[in-house]
Amino acid sequence: GAVVSQHPSWVICKSGTSVKIECRSLDFQATTMFWYRQFPKQSLMLMATSNEGSKATYEQGVEKDKFLINHASLTLSTLTVTSAHPEDSSFYICSANRQGNFYEQYFGPGTRLTVT
């Protein structure tokens, strides 16, 4: 149990376009979902925390208008990178907490975004 999926697993887009990444908890309801970004050979950096039905909480330095997060249900959160630029190219990983259990985070497989 506790499987988190992401779609797509990789995506290539042109500079200036938008791309949406989905994060789903497949076999549990997720109260909270987290979005991380990881540049090559670096650690995971938390971008935002999203709770179902409410606005996401963004970390300092993360542009809210550029990285749109929607958490429409207890099993789905989406991250939309708007007006993508090459510097947005990165590995994006989501994670989710099982409802009622904050301490365990289950990580998705990640999405590799390349902006050309």
Partner 1 sequence: ELKVEQNPLFLSMQEEKNYTIYCNYSTTSDRLYWYRQDPGKSLESLFVLLSNGAVKQEGRLMASLDTKARLSTLHITAAVHDLSATYFCAVISTSGTYKYIFGTGTRLKVLA
Between the alpha carbon of residue 13 and those of residues 6, 44, 45, 85, 90, the distances in Å are: 17, 22, 22, 9, 12
7 vs 112, beta carbon nearer partner 1 = 112
Q: Looking at the DSSP assignment, which residues form a beta bridge with residue 45?
A: 37
- DSSP letter at 54 equals S
Q: How many CA atoms lie within 13 A of 25 on its CB side?
A: 25
Cα–Cα distance for residue pair 115/21, rounded to 1 Å: 14
By the rule CB under 8 A, 93 interacts with partner 1: yes
Find the binding residues for partner 1 in span 97-116 (CB under 8 A): 102-105, 107-110, 112
Q: Is the peptide bond preceding residue 86 cis, with omega within 30 degrees of 0?
A: no
By the rule CB under 8 A, 53 interacts with partner 1: no
Stretch that binds partner 1, among 20-28, 44-52, 64-72, 78-86 (CB under 8 A): 44-52
Q: Which of 13, 46, 74, 76 touches partner 1 by CB under 8 A?
A: 46
The token pair that represents 86 in the structure block: 């090459």
Q: Which of 43, 54, 65, 100 touches partner 1 by CB under 8 A?
A: 43
Find the binding residues for partner 1 in span 9-38 (CB under 8 A): 34
Query: Where do contacts with partner 1 occur on this chain (CB under 8 A)?
Result: 34, 41-46, 49, 57, 93, 95, 102-105, 107-110, 112
